[in-house]
């Protein structure tokens, strides 16, 4: 979704979209792409919980995003222009709205939300769309904006890094591979491929090597590279540019 001032493109991933697609969007549209990870399956597309408004304002439901994405939103949108809504409005798809200048067309909104928008000079137009909600969409899902322009100052950028990690040992019976992959996913990474040749080296043990390519959204100063922390689970880098820190599995920190 384009920022209404055409400064960048917000792009969601997590349920029906792949993080790996974001660099292609940046290249094809020649615009900066900001990746937001969706974590609530009720909000499977970005426009179900996120709506850029005129004047740089943003209508959104923070619990639909992970901590990294919320921090990224906070870095790009000033607090005075962030309009965070509650769950009751969110499940009625108040963010799945159509914004035309100072008019916001949506399914329904609470009195509190309408008052907040009115205080910012927005006029709310409610139109019953409950039948469309049954199919998982509301006002925005029934439209296709074709008038949004991109300013000439924008240029392609997607803050995503790809790293390859390799693990050896008793990956399955000890749960190490699950710990490593869960850690990476929890910190905003995404699996794009995995190779797991498994061989039996002892009657009661399985051993093997897991290899996976992961794409990581990056924003300077927010998080360390998630691959670094996978060292806690015994991972080793295959990519020369990839760092892995050795950590105390018991929670004693890195060393």
Mark whether 164 and 137 lie in a shared domain: no
At 6, the pLDDT band (50, 70, 90 cuts) reads confident
Mark whether 122 and 245 lie in a shared domain: no
The pLDDT, as a whole number, for residue 161 is 60
The pLDDT, as a whole number, for residue 249 is 35
Tokens encoding 197: 């040749």
Tell me if 3 is assigned to some domain. no
At 213, the pLDDT band (50, 70, 90 cuts) reads very low
Q: Domain count of the chain? A: 2
At 146, the pLDDT band (50, 70, 90 cuts) reads confident
The pLDDT, as a whole number, for residue 217 is 53
Please state the rounded mean pLDDT for residues 25-44: 92
pLDDT at residue 244 tops 50: no
Mark whether 226 and 133 lie in a shared domain: no
Mean pLDDT comparison of 116-120, 193-197, 203-207, highest-scoring range: 116-120
Mark whether 125 and 207 lie in a shared domain: no
The pLDDT, as a whole number, for residue 174 is 76
At 4, the pLDDT band (50, 70, 90 cuts) reads confident
The domain in which residue 120 lies consists of 9-142
pLDDT at residue 177 tops 90: no
Tell me if 184 is assigned to some domain. yes
Mean pLDDT, all residues of the chain: 77
Please state the rounded mean pLDDT for residues 246-253: 37
Mark whether 164 and 138 lie in a shared domain: no
Q: What is the pLDDT of residues 39-84, one digit of tens each?
A: 999 999 999 999 999 999 999 999 999 999 999 999 999 999 999 9
Q: Which of 88-92, 174-178, 245-249 has the lowest mean pLDDT?
A: 245-249
Q: What is the CATH number of the domain that holds 130?
A: 3.75.10.10
The pLDDT, as a whole number, for residue 173 is 73
Active site residues: 45, 141
pLDDT at residue 16 tops 80: yes
Q: What is the pLDDT of residues 220-231, one digit of tens each?
A: 333 344 445 545
Q: Which of 38-52, 183-197, 208-222 has the lowest mean pLDDT?
A: 208-222
The pLDDT, as a whole number, for residue 106 is 96
């Amino acid at each position: 979704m384009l920022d209404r001032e055409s400064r960048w493109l917000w792009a969601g991933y997590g349920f029906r979209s792949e993080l790996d697609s974001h660099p292609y969007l940046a290249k094809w549209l020649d615009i900066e792409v900001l990746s937001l990870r969706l974590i609530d399956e009720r909000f499977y597309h970005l426009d179900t919980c996120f709506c850029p408004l005129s004047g740089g304002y943003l209508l959104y439901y923070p619990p639909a995003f992970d901590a990294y994405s919320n921090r990224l939103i906070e870095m790009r949108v000033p607090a005075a222009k962030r309009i965070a809504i509650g769950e009751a409005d969110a499940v009625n798809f108040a963010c799945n709205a159509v914004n035309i200048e100072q008019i916001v067309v949506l399914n329904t909104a609470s009195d509190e939300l309408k008052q907040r928008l009115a205080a910012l000079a927005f006029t709310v137009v409610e139109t019953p769309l409950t039948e469309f909600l049954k199919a998982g969409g509301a006002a925005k899902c029934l439209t296709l904006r074709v008038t949004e322009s991109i300013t000439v100052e924008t240029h392609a950028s997607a803050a995503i890094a790809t790293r390859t990690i390799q693990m050896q040992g008793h990956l399955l019976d000890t749960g190490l591979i699950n710990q490593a992959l869960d850690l990476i996913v929890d910190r905003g990474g995404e699996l794009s491929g995995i190779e797991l040749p498994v061989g039996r080296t002892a009657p009661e043990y399985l051993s093997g090597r897991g290899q996976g390519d992961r794409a990581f959204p990056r924003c300077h100063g927010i998080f360390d590279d998630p691959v670094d922390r996978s060292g806690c689970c015994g991972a080793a880098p295959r990519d020369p540019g990839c760092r892995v820190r050795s950590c105390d599995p018991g929670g004693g920190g890195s060393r």
